């Protein structure tokens, strides 16, 4: 039986055409994984930064998984939305943090910060936005793979 | 001058070489042609060759007869030439003639010229000849010759031209033109002096250029050419021929001596090349720049160092040379001399003088010869290390070291280290599990053997089968032996561990302090006794059978052998006997035939020699005792195995024991510890025996572990030969080497990050002794009491470190290639056999591996072979067949390491999940064990029971099936609500996460400054605002409940029993009888909360003042201090008022006289209970509360005020009862859980209300909250199904039960208090508690009556609706009260008088009642509208309830937003169930029985006697009390009782309770403390009466009394 703790936070986003942003996230796993505790999806608050370009969320992620096999390692998906002054929400980008989400140096607690580029999901005026849609997001996660008792 | 000639000579040489090359070429061609030619001119060739040879051989050696040689050669050549001419006679005559003529003319001309020039030319030629000769022979003439020769330069132009011609000749076949030119042109325009010797010279030149043999070659060549060319080139040939004929042999051949350059010439040559400066003194003027006079610095007074001595000649030479150079003058100083530094040679010798040269030299100064030593590693550079890319890096990670023995170890440390070591050993053994695997193997073998025997039981075993069986038997035996030894080892190890642990314990006990943190736990794993015994017996049986078979076999073998030997022996015997006979015979015949006998005897003696000594008779083998085998096996099993049924002991070593502090230790130990603290350690890292680095010095810890944790990156150039660590110990400034540890050089594949730390042991044999507790090193010591069994321990330990190759920036290991590694070998020792068997390449060949595995009989159970077996299994199973189904997660099943069932079974995971789901039982679990086995099944028992019994109604707990149902229903509602709110809890507001401290402003600073001037202890201190603490970082013991009991009013006083009519003569009952002025009551307050009971001091009188603060500790359920958890605390604070009664009994003892015994007795007077949830949400409770006093208090009476003069008393007289002033708070102040309502707003519940209405209500509430934040305002509420409902929908006139109205058929107004009482009898259950702080749910009246539980709102709504149906004007008051906090009351208007009803108690208060618990009025609600209080004050006394005034009450529905005609959600009519008297009677009996049991239970030491008579009497009173609803009937009641029970001192009271469950009743009885009467002759009386009201509402009366016979 192996257990995996995913502890981290979604720090924020930058590089979007607008600054007032929030993020929806979710973690996807294969069939073998069981969520023991924690929320596997959620949504951050809306941050509209007054200073600087980065919308900070500092949204915590804390999950505890048990697994019976190693396939279907957790992946996180993120959607960045923009909320305009009328409260309307618009999807600005989405992305998956795939297999590199898992740690190469298993067992050792590491901290890393990774940026992922989100695919632009804007269909309107695509020409207008092609350049500004190179989106980057900062995602940070700390992993601890504890108690991997592989009883093979 | 001679250079040109030299040049010419050089050119000649070049020419020679050229020609030689040409000749070679031609020679080749010649050889090809020679075969044709040979026959014809064999003679010629012969001649030529002979000459050649001759000249070659003789030429150089016999220079003396030069002339002879010359002549010879000439003749030879002539002959050859003549013969050649013969061949050419057929050439064209015409051409020949023409050429001849021409040539003749030319020759004649040339001859004449030659003659003319002969006089001039001859000396030159002679000279040239002579020149050659002089060098060798005529040395004397050399000078003269040379002088003469200088005068006559050779004719250059001729030569050059000739040379050109010669070169053209050399080029091979000349063309006709060239040939013509060669022979003609050269001679015509030459100046006479050149021509003079032209022909001769030409010849000579040719001779010199073409060497002797060569000459012939050329000739031959030409000749041949002529032959082959036939007519094409007759001219040339003839010409050549002619020419050749004309020349003498000398012209073609010249024999020269080896060239020798004479010494003189050499000198001359050298003088040409070299410059020799003269050694004459150079005049100063040359050395200095022009027109400058030498300047002597010395003369000018400047110091000039002494120049080093140089000889004058050398100086001169140097100067001359320098002057020749460019800028030579700069080397000269002003004085015209060469610039020189002062003489560096010191005046005196600086070396130490070596006196006594040989004999007595100081040995230190003795020169010792040492052979030059070549550095061992100097040459071992790693290839490629020179280039910058090829740098290699070794990472040496020195993690730390652990001493397994250190001189400073105490005895306990030694034992501890031993224990730890053994535990490690145990763990490794456990991990390897050799025993288990051997047992498996043994079983497997036995099974196999059995199967084999069974399958072949009928048949005769073949040879092969027998062979196999015996093999198996052998295997079984071996395995069993191995298994037994392993088991024994395991057992001994376990025993030793326990033994050492016991020793440690004993030592700790003995020395009275603890030094090591080791603690051994023995975990017991119980086994199934029966099956275990079965296994044990089976095992023994199997072993016995096997052993028997073995011994039997052995016996049979022995027997067979014995038989064989016996046969032999017998044979021998026979022989011997025969022999003897023979001998006897022989002896007889010996006399007759001596010689023959002799012969024979010899023969016989020879043959009989060995048999002379008769062989010992073989002993028959003993039959083995099969009976003893079993015994032996059993003994062995007992020794090495666990007894059957005995629990498996699993030792667990932890470091959790407390080490005794140094202060508590004896002096010797203290000294040891100080010594330890003084020491520190560091390690040096030596690479190739050179120190490269060292770690920091770390102090030695008390556990003798040192952590360095340093990584050293060594950039290396040399091949790593040795890496070692030296461990040094530092004491103060001195340090000593403890030990050296050699580390292996890692393989190139060992790269940083991929290797674990390894432990290397070290030890040192230094002898260390101490005078303190430290045991020292290499010092014998004993743990036995008698000092025996001494052992001496050496300092030793383990260094944990690792050496690996570094990794470069681009993830390239910085390791040298493997070929560089000296002694780099395979690490895979396990596969070594396989590798040697099939070779490394074969490792990829499955078949080969399979073969090897088969042949070497790999044990499939051996964990070491697991990977190979796995591989083989995969390989042997053949190709993976394509599955006939599609699976989304490919190979998922194959890679699972646990099954679903196992995952489900895991208690830990289940616990985690349940906690996450916030299931009630596990919601507040903080820590879940990390290990599966620590999760016990008992954790789930309760939860599982609840799940199982979900539908079963527990009547025992509730005493009433209906109520049990209701409880279940409530539970369900709660669950559903909780689930609904679970998500809401995760929605956080900003204030949940961000707490911003206010920045102090100038104003606050100013106030603080003012505060300095305030009096330290003001007369009326104000309570200060305290800092709020968020609940999450609290733990047990942090929170205290502060209860400040200030004062009480109107406490009942003791009734003087002596005044009573019919009182018996006993007068001295109580101390205060005689004096009516004396204090008639001594009350104190007891506060109990969460099992803690505290009490105040005793005060005097009915209006006591305690002013005392009590601190009660608070602990949250399950240690969970989260807001949600605190809100759901159900505990209540009980505040009981007691009267302290002192009895004095006079003991008349005949012997000792009088003694007085004092009994202190407490009597309950009344109580107040405040739920903790109220305190928590209010954060403080401050006010005067009405004390719940029993309707009748036997022995006490309300003291009618004697002092009626004060204004207060007037007010007080309005209300009856006892009051207490309290201040309760929680310290530190907790942030109360924010109003749930806010969250609900966030939630946006389902609703059926109009959107416009909801918006309006939101706006209304928001406005209200903004303007009057402390006034509660409710417009919408949530019903039980979780929908938002507008509040006015709840108000609707509903008729109360008919029975109540029937009581007063005439005056419906009279029924009002009865209706209020009915409502108050419905149990109250605060929402916050029941719904776990989630929200306030409002149930409708029918739901409320069905549930029979609800909080103030439900009560108030019901009461309001009843009042409305009774035709009263009634409103709901939303406000705050004490102690409830935000609550709902009912307001009625009766005859211009506003009455405020407390729906939970049924009490009503006038608007101006001082003791009205309602403190603030927020809004009023009726069926039509909601009015919000916008007056200045909120207190009911100061509020005008005239809702028509818009400036006082802000209506919700106004003209702008009229009432939309909301229909009520209440039912049209309430249906009541009829009262069930039988059920009530049954309940009454059960309560009485339970209470009696409980009281007896609470008095475990004393007997509890029940006074039946009193009980029956009391029982009669209770219905009366119910009838008058607990009004003051004390007087008559008491009289009646008194008359009945004359001789008893009675104290007692009736309790009236709302019936919900049995538990609160018991609690209430317990809190009165009636059971705590200690008097020996006390009797008790208990009466219970349950009065049923419609719809199963019950009023429970309990009459408690204690009677003491006087």
CA distance B329 to B319: 9
Mind listing the pLDDT tens digit for each residue in B785-797?
Answer: 666 677 777 888 8
Mind listing the pLDDT tens digit for each residue in B1397-1426?
Answer: 888 888 888 888 777 888 888 888 888 888
B chain contacts of residue A105, beta-carbon cutoff 8 Å:
753
In this prediction, residues B1466-1471 reach a mean pLDDT of: 84
Q: Any CB–CB contact under 8 A between A58 and chain B?
A: no
In this prediction, residues B88-112 reach a mean pLDDT of: 60
Q: Do A71 and B897 touch (CB under 8 A)?
A: no
In this prediction, residues B947-971 reach a mean pLDDT of: 64
In this prediction, residues B1472-1479 reach a mean pLDDT of: 80
pLDDT confidence bin for B81, thresholds 50/70/90: very low
Name the residue facing B889 among A1, A30, A36 (closest C-beta): A30
In this prediction, residues B878-890 reach a mean pLDDT of: 59
Mind listing the pLDDT tens digit for each residue in A9-67?
Answer: 777 787 778 888 888 888 888 888 888 888 888 888 898 888 887 788 888 778 888 88
Name the residue facing A152 among B889, B897, B900 (closest C-beta): B897
Residue B682 has phi, psi (to 5 degrees) of -150, 165
In this prediction, residues B882-911 reach a mean pLDDT of: 73
Can you give the pLDDT at residue B1333?
42
pLDDT confidence bin for B387, thresholds 50/70/90: very low
- Please tell me the distance in Å from B913's CA to the nearest CA on chain A: 5
Can you give the pLDDT at residue B1234?
55
B chain contacts of residue A47, beta-carbon cutoff 8 Å:
none
B chain contacts of residue A72, beta-carbon cutoff 8 Å:
889, 892
pLDDT confidence bin for B1375, thresholds 50/70/90: confident
pLDDT confidence bin for B1233, thresholds 50/70/90: low
B chain contacts of residue A39, beta-carbon cutoff 8 Å:
986
The string of DSSP letters for B749-818 reads: T-BTTSS--EEEEEEE---B--SSS---BS-EE--STTS-S-EE--EEEEEEEEEEE-B-TTS-B----G
The lowest-confidence range among B156-170, B1234-1248, B1344-1358, B1372-1386 is: B156-170
Q: Do A34 and B909 touch (CB under 8 A)?
A: yes
Mind listing the pLDDT tens digit for each residue in B1274-1309?
Answer: 888 877 777 788 888 888 888 888 877 777 767 766
In this prediction, residues B256-281 reach a mean pLDDT of: 83
- Please tell me the distance in Å from A1's CA to the nearest CA on chain B: 6
Which carries the bigger pLDDT value, residue B848 or residue B712?
B712
Residue among B753, B888, B897, B926 with most chain A CBs within 10 A, to mutate: B897
Q: Do A68 and B916 touch (CB under 8 A)?
A: no
Residue B36 has phi, psi (to 5 degrees) of -70, -40
pLDDT confidence bin for B506, thresholds 50/70/90: confident
> Contact B405/B794 with Cβ under 8 angstroms?
yes
A chain contacts of residue B889, beta-carbon cutoff 8 Å:
30-32, 71-72
In this prediction, residues A94-116 reach a mean pLDDT of: 50
Nearest to A138 by CA among A34, A2, A40, A16: A16
**C-alpha separations of B117 from B196, B202, B1311 in Å:** 5, 16, 185
Contacts within 8 Å (CB) and 24+ apart, B471-474: B472/B445, B472/B448, B473/B449, B473/B546, B473/B549, B473/B550
Nearest to B795 by CA among B761, B772, B771: B761
Chain B residues at the A interface, defined by Cβ less than 8 Å, are 753, 888-889, 891-892, 895-900, 902-903, 906, 909, 912-913, 915-916, 930, 986
Domain ranges of chain A: 2-124+135-144
| Chain centroid offset of residue B802 CA | 16
Q: Do A70 and B895 touch (CB under 8 A)?
A: yes
B chain contacts of residue A66, beta-carbon cutoff 8 Å:
903, 906, 909
B chain contacts of residue A73, beta-carbon cutoff 8 Å:
none
Closest B-chain CA to A71:
B892
CB pairs under 8 A between A and B: 55
Q: Do A32 and B906 touch (CB under 8 A)?
A: no
Closest B-chain CA to A37:
B916
Name the residue facing A37 among B892, B900, B916 (closest C-beta): B916
Strands of B477-632, DSSP E: 519-525
Mind listing the pLDDT tens digit for each residue in A120-129?
Answer: 544 332 222 2
Closest A-chain CA to B908:
A36
- Please tell me the distance in Å from A121's CA to the nearest CA on chain B: 28
Closest B-chain CA to A146:
B930
Can you give the pLDDT at residue B1118?
65
The string of DSSP letters for B562-583 reads: HHHHHHHHHHHHHHHHHHHHHH
Q: Do A1 and B902 touch (CB under 8 A)?
A: yes
Q: Is the pLDDT of residue B434 over 70?
A: yes
In this prediction, residues B819-833 reach a mean pLDDT of: 41
Q: Do B753 and A31 touch (CB under 8 A)?
A: no
User: In sequence order, what are the residues at sequence separation of 6 or more whose Cβ sits closer than 8 angstroms to the Cβ of residue B869?
Assistant: B853, B858, B860
**Percent of chain B at pLDDT exceeding 90:** 0
Can you give the pLDDT at residue B23?
66
Q: Do B903 and A30 touch (CB under 8 A)?
A: no
Nearest to B1190 by CA among B1213, B1218, B1214: B1218
Give the number of C-alpha atoms closer than 13 A to the C-alpha of residue B128, restricted to the C-beta side.
18
Q: Is the pLDDT of residue B771 over 60?
A: yes
Q: Is the pLDDT of residue B658 over 70?
A: yes
Q: Do A69 and B912 touch (CB under 8 A)?
A: no
Q: Do A36 and B912 touch (CB under 8 A)?
A: yes
Closest B-chain CA to A66:
B909
Q: Is the pLDDT of residue B1312 over 60?
A: yes
Mind listing the pLDDT tens digit for each residue in B1584-1598?
Answer: 988 888 888 888 888
- Please tell me the distance in Å from A149's CA to the nearest CA on chain B: 10
Can you give the pLDDT at residue B1258?
85
Q: Do A72 and B889 touch (CB under 8 A)?
A: yes
CATH topology assigned to domain A2-124+135-144: Immunoglobulin-like (2.60.40)
In this prediction, residues B1573-1583 reach a mean pLDDT of: 82
Can you give the pLDDT at residue B715?
81
- Please tell me the distance in Å from B907's CA to the nearest CA on chain A: 12
In this prediction, residues B8-37 reach a mean pLDDT of: 60
CA distance B114 to B1137: 173
Q: Do A36 and B898 touch (CB under 8 A)?
A: no
Report for B559-573, B577-591, B910-924, B1248-1262: range of highest mean pLDDT: B559-573
CA distance B1459 to B987: 34
Residue among B870, B892, B918 with most chain A CBs within 10 A, to mutate: B892
B chain contacts of residue A36, beta-carbon cutoff 8 Å:
909, 912-913, 916
**Percent of chain B at pLDDT exceeding 70:** 65
> Contact B705/B715 with Cβ under 8 angstroms?
no
Q: Is the pLDDT of residue B1602 over 80?
A: yes
Can you give the pLDDT at residue B610?
45
Q: Do A1 and B986 touch (CB under 8 A)?
A: no
Can you give the pLDDT at residue B614?
56
Mind listing the pLDDT tens digit for each residue in B288-332?
Answer: 777 777 777 777 777 777 788 888 888 888 888 888 877 777 888
Can you give the pLDDT at residue B75?
43
CA distance B636 to B485: 11
Residue written as token pair 């305690």: B1106
Q: Any CB–CB contact under 8 A between A105 and chain B?
A: yes
Name the residue facing A151 among B892, B898, B986 (closest C-beta): B898
The lowest-confidence range among B584-588, B941-945, B1477-1481, B1552-1556 is: B584-588
In this prediction, residues B370-391 reach a mean pLDDT of: 57
Q: Any CB–CB contact under 8 A between A70 and chain B?
A: yes
**Cα torsion B1482, B1485, B1488, B1494: sign:** negative
Global pTM value: 0.49
Can you give the pLDDT at residue B679?
85
Q: Any CB–CB contact under 8 A between A145 and chain B?
A: no
Mind listing the pLDDT tens digit for each residue in B586-635?
Answer: 666 554 554 444 444 444 444 444 445 556 677 777 776 767 777 888 88
The lowest-confidence range among B654-658, B840-844, B1439-1443, B1466-1470 is: B840-844
Name the residue facing A39 among B909, B930, B986 (closest C-beta): B986
Name the residue facing A69 among B895, B902, B906 (closest C-beta): B895
Average pLDDT, chain B: 72
Residue among B907, B912, B931 with most chain A CBs within 10 A, to mutate: B912
Name the residue facing B915 among A37, A147, A150 (closest C-beta): A37
């Amino acid at each position: 039986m192996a257990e995996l703790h995913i502890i981290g936070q979604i720090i924020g986003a930058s590089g979007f055409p607008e600054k007032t942003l929030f993020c929806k996230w979710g973690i996807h796993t294969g069939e073998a994984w069981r969520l023991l505790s924690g929320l596997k999806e959620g949504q951050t608050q809306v941050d509209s930064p007054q200073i600087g370009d980065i919308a900070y969320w500092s949204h915590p992620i804390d999950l505890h998984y048990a697994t019976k096999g190693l396939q279907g390692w957790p992946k996180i998906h993120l959607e960045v939305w923009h909320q305009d002054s009328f409260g309307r929400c618009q999807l600005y980008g989405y992305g998956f943090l795939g297999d590199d989400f898992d740690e190469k140096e298993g067992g050792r607690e590491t901290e890393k910060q990774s940026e992922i580029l989100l695919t632009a999901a804007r269909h309107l005026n695509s020409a207008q936005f092609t350049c500004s849609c190179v989106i980057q997001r900062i995602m940070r996660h700390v992993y601890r793979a504890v108690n991997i008792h592989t009883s093979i | 001058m001679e250079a040109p000639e030299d040049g010419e000579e050089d050119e000649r040489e070049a020419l020679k070489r050229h020609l030689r090359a040409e000749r070679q070429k031609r020679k080749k061609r010649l050889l090809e042609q020679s075969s044709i030619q040979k026959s014809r001119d064999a003679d010629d060739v012969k001649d030529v060759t002979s000459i050649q040879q001759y000249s070659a051989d003789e030429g150089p050696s016999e220079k003396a007869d030069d002339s002879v040689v010359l002549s010879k050669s000439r003749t030879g050549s002539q002959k050859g030439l003549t013969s050649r001419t013969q061949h050419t006679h057929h050439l064209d005559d015409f051409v020949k003639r023409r050429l001849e003529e021409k040539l003749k003319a030319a020759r004649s001309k040339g001859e004449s010229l030659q003659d003319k020039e002969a006089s001039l030319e001859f000396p030159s030629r002679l000279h040239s000849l002579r020149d050659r000769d002089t060098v060798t022979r005529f040395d004397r003439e050399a000078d003269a010759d040379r002088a003469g020769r200088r005068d006559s330069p050779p004719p250059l132009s001729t030569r050059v031209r000739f040379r050109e011609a010669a070169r053209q000749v050399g080029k091979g076949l000349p063309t006709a033109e060239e040939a013509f030119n060669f022979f003609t042109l050269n001679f015509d325009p030459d100046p006479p002096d050149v021509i003079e010797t032209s022909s001769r010279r030409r010849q000579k030149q040719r001779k010199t250029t073409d060497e002797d043999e060569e000459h012939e070659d050329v000739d031959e060549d030409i000749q041949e050419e002529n032959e082959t060319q036939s007519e094409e080139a007759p001219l040339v040939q003839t010409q050549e021929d002619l020419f050749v004929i004309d020349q003498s042999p000398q012209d073609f051949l010249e024999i020269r001596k080896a060239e020798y350059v004479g010494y003189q010439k050499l000198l001359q040559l050298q003088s040409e090349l070299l410059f020799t400066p003269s050694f004459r003194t150079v005049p100063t003027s040359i050395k200095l720049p022009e027109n400058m006079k030498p300047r002597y610095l010395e003369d000018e007074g400047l110091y000039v160092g002494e120049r080093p001595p140089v000889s004058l000649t050398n100086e001169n030479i140097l100067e001359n040379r320098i002057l020749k150079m460019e800028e030579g003058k700069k080397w000269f100083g002003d004085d015209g001399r060469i610039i020189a530094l002062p003489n560096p040679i010191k005046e005196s010798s600086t070396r130490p003088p070596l006196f006594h040269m040989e004999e007595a030299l100081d040995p230190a100064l003795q020169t010792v010869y040492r052979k030059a030593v070549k550095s061992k590693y100097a040459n071992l550079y790693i290839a490629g290390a020179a280039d910058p890319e090829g740098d290699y890096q070794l990472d040496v990670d020195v993690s730390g070291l652990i001493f397994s023995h250190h001189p400073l170890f105490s005895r306990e440390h030694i034992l501890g280290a031993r224990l730890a070591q053994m535990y490690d050993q145990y763990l490794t053994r456990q991990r390897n599990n050799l025993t288990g695997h051997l047992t498996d193997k043994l079983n497997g073998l036995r099974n196999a053997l059995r199967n084999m025997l069974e399958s072949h039981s009928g048949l005769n075993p073949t040879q092969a089968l027998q062979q196999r069986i015996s093999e198996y038997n052998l295997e079984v035996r071996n395995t069993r032996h191995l298994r037994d030894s392993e088991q024994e080892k395991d057992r001994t190890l376990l025993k030793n561990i326990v033994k050492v642990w016991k020793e440690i314990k004993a030592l700790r006990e003995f020395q009275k302090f603890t030094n090591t943190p080791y603690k051994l736990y023995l975990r017991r794993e119980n086994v199934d006794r029966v099956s275990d015994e079965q296994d044990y017996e089976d095992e023994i049986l199997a072993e016995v059978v096997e052993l028997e078979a073995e011994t039997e076999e052995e016996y049979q073998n022995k027997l067979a052998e014995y038989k064989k030997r016996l046969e032999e022996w017998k044979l021998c015997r026979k022989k011997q006997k025969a022999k003897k006979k023979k001998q006897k015979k022989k002896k007889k015949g010996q006399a007759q035939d001596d010689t023959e006998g002799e012969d024979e005897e010899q023969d016989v003696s020879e043959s009989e020699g060995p048999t002379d000594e008769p062989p010992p008779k073989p002993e028959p083998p003993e039959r083995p005792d099969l009976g003893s085998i079993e015994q032996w096996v059993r003994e062995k099993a007992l020794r090495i195995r666990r007894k059957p049924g005995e629990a498996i002991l699993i030792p667990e070593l932890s470091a959790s024991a407390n080490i005794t502090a140094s202060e508590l230790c004896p002096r010797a130990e203290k000294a040891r510890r100080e010594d330890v603290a003084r020491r520190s350690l560091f390690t040096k890292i030596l690479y190739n025996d050179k120190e490269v680095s060292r770690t920091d010095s770390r102090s030695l810890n008390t556990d003798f572990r040192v952590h360095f944790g340093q990584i050293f990156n060594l950039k290396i150039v040399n091949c790593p030969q040795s890496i070692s660590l030296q461990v040094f110990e530092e004491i103060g400034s001195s340090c000593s080497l403890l030990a050296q540890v050699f580390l292996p050089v890692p393989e190139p594949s060992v790269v940083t990050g991929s290797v674990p730390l390894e432990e290397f042991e070290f030890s040192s044999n230094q002898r260390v002794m101490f005078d303190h507790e430290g045991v020292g090193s290499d010092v014998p010591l004993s743990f036995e009491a008698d000092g025996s069994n001494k052992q001496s321990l050496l300092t030793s330990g383990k260094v944990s470190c690792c050496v690996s190759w570094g990794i470069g920036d681009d993830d390239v290991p910085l390791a040298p290639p493997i070929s560089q590694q000296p002694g780099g070998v395979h690490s895979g020792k396990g596969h070594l056999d396989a590798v040697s068997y099939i070779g490394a390449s074969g490792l990829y060949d499955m078949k080969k591996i399979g073969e090897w595995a088969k042949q070497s009989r790999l044990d499939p159970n051996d964990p070491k072979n697991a990977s190979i077996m796995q591989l083989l299994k995969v390989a042997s199973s053949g190709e993976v067949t394509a599955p006939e189904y599609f699976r989304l997660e490919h190979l998922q099943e194959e890679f699972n390491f646990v099954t679903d069932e196992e995952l489900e079974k895991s208690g830990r995971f289940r616990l985690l999940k349940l906690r996450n789901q916030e299931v009630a039982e596990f919601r507040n679990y903080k820590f879940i064990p990390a290990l599966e086995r620590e999760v016990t099944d008992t954790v789930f028992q309760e939860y599982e029971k609840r799940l199982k019994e979900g539908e079963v109604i527990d009547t025992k707990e509730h005493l009433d099936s209906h109520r049990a149902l209701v409880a279940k229903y409530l539970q369900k509602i709660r669950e559903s609500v909780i689930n609904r709110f679970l998500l809401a809890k995760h929605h956080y507001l900003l204030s949940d996460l961000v707490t911003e401290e206010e920045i102090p402003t100038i104003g606050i600073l100013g106030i603080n400054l003012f505060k300095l001037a305030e009096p330290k202890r003001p007369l009326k201190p104000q309570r200060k605002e305290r800092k709020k603490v968020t609940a999450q970082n609290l733990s047990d013991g942090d929170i205290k409940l502060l209860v400040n009991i200030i004062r009480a009013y109107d406490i009942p006083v003791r009734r003087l029993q002596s005044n009573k009519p019919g009182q018996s003569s006993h007068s001295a009952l109580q101390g205060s009888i005689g004096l009516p002025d004396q204090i008639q009551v001594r009350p104190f307050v007891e506060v109990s909360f969460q099992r803690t009971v505290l009490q105040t001091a005793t005060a005097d009188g009915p209006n006591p003042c305690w002013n005392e603060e009590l601190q009660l500790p608070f602990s949250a359920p399950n240690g969970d201090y989260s807001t949600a958890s605190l809100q759901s605390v159900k505990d209540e604070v009980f505040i009981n008022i007691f009267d302290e009664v002192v009895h004095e009994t006079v003991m008349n003892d005949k012997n000792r006289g009088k003694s007085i015994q004092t009994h202190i007795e407490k009597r309950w007077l009344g109580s107040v209970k405040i739920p903790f949830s109220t305190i928590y949400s209010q954060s403080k409770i401050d006010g005067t509360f009405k004390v719940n006093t029993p309707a009748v208090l036997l022995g006490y009476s309300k003291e009618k005020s004697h002092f009626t003069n004060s204004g207060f008393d007037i007010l007080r007289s309005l209300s009856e009862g006892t009051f207490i002033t309290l201040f309760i708070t929680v310290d530190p102040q907790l942030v109360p859980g924010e109003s749930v309502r806010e969250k609900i707003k966030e939630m946006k519940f389902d609703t059926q209300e109009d959107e416009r209405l909801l918006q309006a209500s939101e706006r209304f509430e928001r406005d209200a909250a903004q303007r009057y934040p402390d006034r509660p305002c409710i417009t919408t509420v949530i019903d039980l199904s979780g929908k938002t409902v507008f509040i006015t929908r709840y108000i609707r006139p509903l008729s109360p039960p008919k029975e109540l109205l029937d009581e007063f058929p005439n005056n419906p107004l009279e029924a009002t208090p009865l209706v209020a009482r009915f409502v108050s009898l419905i149990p109250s259950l605060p929402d916050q508690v029941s719904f776990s702080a989630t929200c306030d749910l409002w149930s409708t009246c029918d739901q409320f009556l069905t549930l029979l539980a609800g909080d103030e709102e439900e009560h108030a709504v019901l009461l309001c609706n009843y009042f409305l149906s009774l035709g009263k004007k009634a409103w709901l008051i939303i406000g705050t009260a004490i102690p409830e906090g935000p609550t709902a009351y009912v307001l009625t208007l009766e005859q211009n008088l506003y009455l405020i009803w407390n729906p939970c108690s049924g009490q009503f208060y006038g608007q101006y009642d001082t003791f009205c618990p309602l403190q603030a009025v927020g809004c009023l609600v009726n069926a039509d509208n909601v009015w919000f209080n916008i007056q200045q004050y909120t207190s009911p006394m100061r509020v005008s309830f005239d809702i028509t005034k818009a400036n006082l009450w802000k209506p919700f529905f106004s003209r702008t937003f009229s009432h939309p005609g909301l229909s009520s959600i209440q039912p049209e009519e309430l249906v009541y169930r009829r009262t069930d008297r039988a059920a009530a009677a049954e309940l009454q009996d059960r309560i009485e029985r339970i209470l009696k049991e409980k009281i007896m239970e609470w008095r475990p030491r004393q007997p509890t006697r029940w006074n039946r008579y009193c009980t029956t009497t009391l029982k009669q009173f209770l219905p009366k009390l119910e009838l008058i609803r607990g009004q003051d009937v004390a007087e008559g009641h008491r009289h009646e009782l008194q008359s009945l029970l004359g001789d008893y001192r009675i104290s007692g009271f009736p309790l009236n309770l709302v019936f919900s469950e049995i538990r609160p009743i018991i609690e209430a009885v317990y809190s009165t403390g009636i059971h705590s009467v200690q008097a020996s002759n006390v009797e008790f009386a208990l009466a219970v009466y349950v009065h049923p009201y419609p719809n199963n509402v019950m009023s429970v009366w309990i009459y408690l009394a204690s009677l003491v016979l006087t």
